[in-house]
Amino acid sequence: MLRYLVKRILLLIPVLFGVAMLIFSIVHLAPGDPAQTMLGANATQEEISALRISLGLERPLYVQFAIFVGNAMRGDLGKSIITNDSVLREIFLRLPATCTLAALGLLFALALGIPLGMIAAIKQNTLADAICSFVALAAFSIPNFWLALMLMLLFSVMFPILPSSGLGDWRNLLLPTVVVGGQFMAIIARMTRSSMLEVIRQDYIKTARAKGLPYKLVLMRHSFSNVLIPVITIAGLSFGQALGGIVITETVFSIPGTGRFLVDAIRAHDYPVVQGGILFFAFFVGCVNLVVDMLYAFVDPRIKAQYR
């Protein structure tokens, strides 16, 4: 297990290096002068030159990239041009709100997606299967921003029972949780259904049923653990995708999280925040995927044996 863990950590290094190179290239090779964009059209050439020198923009790109990577390896993602504060500190201040929203969205997706998928598989080709499949298809097809606006219109304007923005108490999280978890619930439901159909057709399930074991016991003891393996994979990927999708949700619901922070940085052309924020998210998602891989061993003993 330890050997596999070290191997996965080493594989994360080139991924982060590639992400850093990609985002650095996009930010610095985009048309326009970042210094002039930040100072505005009325800035003098002397002011622009002074800002370029202070930001190190007059150096060759490979030197700037080397400095950026070297600082990132020490945990320094730079300073925000707008607030002159550490990018990492700014992210950590807003990260709890983002992680809470992503975790609640994922729990919502699992709590609805797994039962819907299992019901659809057990009741295959019945009305229950059709209803569950329709719900999953509808949830997957609706865009996040449109669902957010419709929920705000319904529960905050027409029936003002929930707040439409901000981050106060638990009531503020209900609508964003549904928006974040809606599409992932559909994916998990479809994955659970297909995995369940594959598992219940295996010979060992038929043998357990032939021995006279109750059907519910066969499903929970012999089927559920095998069904969970692909579901855990989707859940881990969904959590990473949820962090990206939260950018829209936090912006619509005015939640002061890292997603909205990055959007504001892009609007203000605060490129150190953009570079550092995306690199941090890449590292965070990589760690989540690493945890998901470790969970496989606890769900399926066969996978644990391969790690030894």
Please tell me the distance from the alpha carbon of residue 154 to that of residue 247, in angstroms, as a whole number.
Answer: 22
For the chain, the structural domain boundaries read 2-73, 94-307
Q: What is the pLDDT of residues 77-107, one digit of tens each?
A: 888 877 778 888 888 888 888 888 888 888 8
Q: What is the pLDDT of residues 99-154, one digit of tens each?
A: 888 888 888 888 888 888 888 888 888 888 888 888 888 888 888 888 888 888 88
> Which helix (DSSP H) or strand (DSSP E) does residue 99 occupy?
helix 87-122
Q: What is the pLDDT of residues 252-298, one digit of tens each?
A: 888 888 888 888 887 777 778 888 888 888 888 777 777 777 776 66
Determine the average pLDDT of the residues in 8-33: 78
Which of 3.20.20.140, 3.30.460.80, 1.10.3720.10, 3.40.190.10 would CATH assign to domain 94-307? 1.10.3720.10
pLDDT at 81: 76
pLDDT at 244: 62
What would the two tokens of residue 170 be? 């638990």
7 against 69, higher pLDDT: 69
Determine the average pLDDT of the residues in 208-223: 68
Supply the mean pLDDT for the chain: 78
Please tell me the distance from the alpha carbon of residue 218 to that of residue 225, in angstroms, as a whole number.
Answer: 11
